[in-house]
Structure 1
C-alpha cells in the first residue's frame, strides 16, 4: 500500500484536548453515534409502524438499512482511502439525508423501505470516523479520543430514550422519522464546516469492482436468505440458493482478491493473528450486544393482549424511565473502560463486557415481567455494554498499522454489522415460532421473547469465551506496549 501523505503526530505545548480537537471529536462522535440514535428510534417506532401499515414483515424496517450498509461498505472504505475520508463521509451523509426524507414522506410500507434502504448508505460512517481519529489527532490523543468515540454510545443511551419517548409519544413515528432527517442534516453541516480532511491517502488505483460486488453482494445474499428462509420454508429451493450462493460469492471474493493487482481488501491482513482474532471476537460480542435490542424493544412496546400478545405494553416514555439508570451505567462503563485500557489488557475488558451482557440477558430471559426485574438485571448488562463499545475501537487500533486503519475499521464495521443483522434475523425467526398474525400484524408470545433473549445471550458468551481463549501472552505484551504508545 502506497501512502501519498502522512499526518503530523506532533502537538508540542498542548496538554489534553484543545478546543479545536474537542470540537472535531464532538462532530465525529455525533456522526458515528447517529447510527445508534437512529437504531434506538427505529426500535421504538417499529411496533407503531407494524400496526399503522398492517405489516407482518416489520423486521425489514431495520433489515433493509443493514443490507444496503453491508453492500456499500467495501466501496465506501476503498473510496475513502483514495479520495479522502471527509469527502466520502460527506457524500454518504447526503445519501443518508435523502433516504431519511423519503422515509418521512412515505405513504405506504414499500416507500418507507425504499427510504430506509437509501439511508443505509450512511452505514459505514462509524468506520470512517474511527479511522479519522488516527489521521487528524496527535498521537498522544489517539487512544483517549478512540475510547471517547466508542463510549459516545453511552450518551446516546442516556439521552436517546427520553428524546425517542418525547418524539414517539408526542408526534408518533412520523415525528421520529423527521427527526432522523434533521439529525442527518446537522451532521452534514458540521462535517463540512468543522472537520478537516484526512491527509492520509492510498495511491489512486482502479477500484476492484468485481471483488467489492462479490463481498458485499455475497454477504447481502446470505442475510436475505436467512431473513426470508422462514417464510419460504427451509426446504425451499430459494433458501439454499441465496445462502449457498452468497457463501460461494464470498469464497469467490477471496479467489479474486488473491489475483488482482489492486485488491479491494488485502488478504494477507486476514492471516495476522492480531487481526482475525479481533475481527472474530468483536463481531460476535458486539453483534450480539446490539442485536438483543430487537427483542427488548418489542417486549416493552408491543401491547398486552391476553392469549394473543405478551408484550408489556409500555409507552416509550415509561420504557425510557425504566432504562435511564442503565443508560447512565453504559456511559460510566465506557468511560471506565477507556481509562483502564492503558493498564488492563483490552481483551480482558472485552471478555468481561461480553460475559456481563450474556449473563444479564440470560437472566432477563426468565425474569422480565416486572419493572424491578428489568431495572435490576439491566444494570449489569449496561456495564457490560459500556465495556464492549469502548474497547472495540481500541482493539482495532492495536491490531493494525496506522496506514491500515481505514481498512481495519471498515472490515470490523462490516463484520459486526453483518453479524448483528444475521443474529437479528435469526432472533425474529425464533420470535415468530411463538407468534400469531391478526389483521396483518404479527404478535409475539412470552416463550418467543425468552428464547430470543437466550439465543443472543449465548452468542455474546461465545464471543467472550473466544476472547479469553484466543489471546496469548505475546499478544497481551504487544497490545500493552501499543496502548502505551497511542
Structure 2
C-alpha cells in the first residue's frame, strides 16, 4: 500500500475535528450523497418492468438483489477502513466504483452484463452510513444536531421528487435514460464528497476482522440466494438446503468470531443488553421490510392488464408517481410529527403505534388495490405507519446506547435492515411467482400474487410488533443524551 494511504502515526481523538469554516455549506454538500440511495432505489425500481420486458428475463428481482448484497457485504469493511484512512477517501473510492457499475448497467447489451453493473453499483451502498458517521467528526458540537436534521429532513424531498423524476425519464425517454440519470447522480455525489473535509484517522488495519466480514456477507448472500431459488429448485432440494444451512452456519460462525476478536467488524457485544437488543434488532429488521413495500405497487401499477395473463393496472410511471404523492407527503409529515411527539413520550409507544398502523395499511392494501382511490387511501395509511416507523427506529437507538456506542449501534442497524430488505425482496417475489405466467420470456403476475405479497409484508410487520411486546420502557432521546 502506498505511503499516501498509510494512516496517521498518532490516531486523532474523537474531539479532534477539522475546522469547518462554513458548516451550513458543508452540510448541504452531504445531502445528495446521503439521499442518493433513495433516488437510485426509486428510479431503478420504476425502470424494472421495462427492463424485464426489453431483456426478456423472468429474473428481474436480481436487478435489486445484486445491488443490495454487494452493499451489505461492503458495509463492515468500509466502516473500518473509513476510520483508518479517512471516511472521505473511502467514500470517494466507493463512489468511483459505483459510478463504473452505473455506466456498465446503462450500456448493458443483456441482463447478465446489467447484473454485473448493478453489483458494482452496490459499492456505493456504504456511503450513506459513512456520511452519517462523518457528521459527528467534522462538525462543531453545536452543529451536529442541525446537520442531522438537514440530512434526514431531505429524505422527504427525495421520496416525493424521485418518483416524479423517474416518471418523466422513463415515460418520455425510456429505461436507459433512467439508468443514465443514475450515472449523473453518482457523479454529482462524488463531486460533493470531494469538496467535504476529511475525517480524523484512527486505528490501523492490523488485526482487522476479515473473517467476521466474510462470514457476515457470505452468510446473508447464501440465505438470499437459497430463498430466491427455493421456489424453482424446490424447498427440499439439495441445492436449496445446502444454501440455507450453510448461510445459517456462516452467521452463527460470524457471531462466535465477533465475540472473540479484539477489533470486531461489528460490535455485537452491545446487543447483550436487553434494552439495546430490543431497540435495535427487530426494529431494524422491520424497517427493512418497509423499504421493500413500494416494489409491490410498482409492478402492480406498471404491468399491463392482459386477460388470464397479467392483472396489472397498466399505468404510466408518471401516473403512478402522481397517485403516490399523497402517501409520500404523509410519510414525511409522520416523520416530522414523531420528532415533536418524542418531546413528550418515549419511542416505545410510538413504535407500537407505527407498526400497528403499518401492518393494518398493508393488510388493507392486499384487500383493496384495484383503482386510484383504493391505492391512495391505503397508501396514506402505509405512509403514516412507515413514516413514523423510520423516525422512531433512529430515536430508539439514541435512547438505549451511549454516545460512544451510537456509531456501532447505527452500523448494526444498517446491516440488519439491508439484510432484511434483501430477504424480504426474495420472499415477495416468491409470492408473485406462485401466481405468474411467462410469455415471450417475461413474467406477468396475477392479482392473487399481489394480494399475497401485501399479506406477507403485513404479516412480517405484525410479527415484529409481537416480538417487541416485552420491550422495556425507553427513555426519550433528550433524556438519554443528558444522562
Q: Which of the five TM-score ranges fits, normalised by the shorter chain? A: over 0.9
The aligned residue for residue 404 of structure 1 is 405
The aligned residue for residue 375 of structure 1 is 376
The aligned residue for residue 482 of structure 1 is 480
Higher relative contact order structure (alpha carbons within 8 Å, sequence separation ≥ 6): 1
User: Which TM-score applies when normalising by structure 2?
Assistant: 0.92
The aligned residue for residue 440 of structure 1 is 441
The aligned residue for residue 33 of structure 1 is 35
**Which runs of structure 2 are paired with 1:4-23 in the superposition (5 Å)?**
4-7=12-15, 20-23=22-25
Shift of 1:24: 2.9
User: Is 1:266 paired with 2:264?
Assistant: no
The aligned residue for residue 205 of structure 1 is 206
Shift of 1:283: 2.0
Cα deviation, 1:403-458, whole Å, max 9, x if unaligned, reads: 33333222111110000110110010011111111111111000110010011112
Tell me how far apart the structure 1 counterparts of residues 400 and 241 of structure 2 sit (CA, whole Å): 35
Alignment RMSD:
2.3
Tell me how far apart the structure 1 counterparts of residues 200 and 412 of structure 2 sit (CA, whole Å): 21
Report the CA distance shift for 1:172/1:91 in structure 2 as closer, same or farther (over 3 A).
same
Shift of 1:161: 1.2
Shift of 1:19: 9.4
Shift of 1:338: 2.7
SS in 2 for 1:102: helix
The aligned residue for residue 15 of structure 1 is none
Shift of 1:36: 1.1
**Which runs of structure 2 are paired with 1:130-169 in the superposition (5 Å)?**
130-169=132-171
Shift of 1:398: 3.5
The aligned residue for residue 5 of structure 2 is none
Q: Is the 8 A contact 1:211 1:256 kept in 2?
A: yes
Cα deviation, 1:107-142, whole Å, max 9, x if unaligned, reads: 111110000000111112221122223323344444
Q: Is the 8 A contact 1:227 1:426 kept in 2?
A: yes
The aligned residue for residue 472 of structure 1 is 472
**Matching residue within 91, 95, 104 for 1:89:** 91
Report the CA distance shift for 1:281/1:22 in structure 2 as closer, same or farther (over 3 A).
farther
User: Is 1:78 paired with 2:80?
Assistant: yes
Shift of 1:3: 6.7
Q: Is the 8 A contact 1:362 1:454 kept in 2?
A: yes
Shift of 1:331: 1.8
Report the CA distance shift for 1:328/1:385 in structure 2 as closer, same or farther (over 3 A).
same
Q: Is the 8 A contact 2:30 2:192 kept in 1?
A: no
**Which runs of structure 2 are paired with 1:201-350 in the superposition (5 Å)?**
201-202=202-203, 204-350=205-351
Shift of 1:282: 2.2
Q: Is the 8 A contact 1:68 1:121 kept in 2?
A: yes
Q: Is the 8 A contact 1:131 1:405 kept in 2?
A: no
The aligned residue for residue 122 of structure 1 is 124
Shift of 1:212: 1.1
Higher mean alpha-carbon deviation, 254-263 vs 301-310, is at 254-263
Shift of 1:240: 1.1
Higher mean alpha-carbon deviation, 208-217 vs 160-169, is at 208-217
The aligned residue for residue 14 of structure 1 is none
Q: Is the 8 A contact 1:99 1:118 kept in 2?
A: yes
Shift of 1:203: 5.1
Report the CA distance shift for 1:208/1:347 in structure 2 as closer, same or farther (over 3 A).
same
Q: Is the 8 A contact 1:222 1:242 kept in 2?
A: yes
User: Which TM-score applies when normalising by structure 1?
Assistant: 0.91
Shift of 1:471: 3.1
Tell me how far apart the structure 2 counterparts of residues 329 and 85 of structure 1 sit (CA, whole Å): 34
Shift of 1:309: 0.2
Shift of 1:259: 3.0
SS in 1 for 2:206: coil
Q: Is the 8 A contact 2:286 2:461 kept in 1?
A: yes
Tell me how far apart the structure 1 counterparts of residues 466 and 361 of structure 2 sit (CA, whole Å): 16
Shift of 1:27: 2.9
Shift of 1:379: 1.3
Cα deviation, 1:137-184, whole Å, max 9, x if unaligned, reads: 344444454354334321112111110100110111101100001000
**Which runs of structure 2 are paired with 1:376-395 in the superposition (5 Å)?**
376-395=377-396
Q: Is the 8 A contact 1:64 1:116 kept in 2?
A: yes
Q: Is the 8 A contact 1:46 1:61 kept in 2?
A: yes
Tell me how far apart the structure 2 counterparts of residues 9 and 199 of structure 1 sit (CA, whole Å): 7
Tell me how far apart the structure 2 counterparts of residues 351 and 143 of structure 1 sit (CA, whole Å): 26
Shift of 1:277: 1.7
SS in 1 for 2:375: helix
Tell me how far apart the structure 2 counterparts of residues 280 and 232 of structure 1 sit (CA, whole Å): 31
Matched residue count: 474
Shift of 1:196: 2.1
- Give the unaligned 5+ runs of structure 2: 1-9
Cα deviation, 1:263-294, whole Å, max 9, x if unaligned, reads: 22233222122332222232232111111222
Q: Is the 8 A contact 1:150 1:391 kept in 2?
A: no
Q: Is the 8 A contact 1:330 1:386 kept in 2?
A: yes
The aligned residue for residue 457 of structure 1 is 458
SS in 2 for 1:258: helix
Tell me how far apart the structure 2 counterparts of residues 344 and 154 of structure 1 sit (CA, whole Å): 24
